[in-house]
Structures are given as structure tokens and as C-alpha cells.
Amino acid sequence: YGSTAENQTLWRSEIIDSGYMGINTNGGTNLRVYNSKIHNNRIGMYPGSGNNVNISFNLIYNNDEYGIHHNCHYDKNFLQIVILLL
């Protein structure tokens, strides 16, 4: 979680089995993640170049090669990703 993180916050977390990634907002800074669970990972996130990131209401499931990624380099101060995959 949170590459070179700083003032973190995860909240109800669970980012499980991270053999790789499980959120990584490279560069970090204020980060946050909120309602979490992001599951069996091998990626499961990776948006961004950090700063004041805010990834909300998560539940991104059985990742295995992605579950969001795609060279998302956000240069915005505020990033809000709302995802519910059932």
C-alpha cells in the first residue's frame, strides 16, 4: 500500500495476499483508502503519482493481473475512485 507513503489512513482495510501491488499510489503523500477490501492481488490498484490521493468506497475483487492499473499516472491533487465489483 502506498509506495513512498506518508500520512496514511486505510480505514476498514483488508488488501489481502499481496504478492504484488495491492494499491500503490507511487510517490505517496497524504493518501487514504477508506472502506477497503481489495483482494487476492497481483495488482489490485496502482493509480497514480500520489500527492493527496483519496481512493474511496473500495471493494475490488479477485485481482490477478489488474483490477485497475493501466499506467494511471494522475497529476491531480485529488483522485477519487469509486468502484464496486461484485
Answer yes or no: pTM beyond 0.75: no
Looking at residues 36-65, what average pLDDT do you find?
72
Mean pLDDT taken over the chain:
67
| pLDDT tens digits for range 29-41 | 777 777 777 778 7
Which pLDDT score, from 0 to 100, does residue 42 have?
A: 72
Q: What are phi and psi of 83, to 5 degrees?
A: -140, 140
Q: Band of the pLDDT at 43, cuts 50, 70, 90?
A: confident
* C-alpha to C-alpha distance for 63 and 68, rounded to whole angstroms: 9
* C-alpha to C-alpha distance for 60 and 86, rounded to whole angstroms: 8
51: helix, strand or coil:
strand
Looking at residues 42-47, what average pLDDT do you find?
71
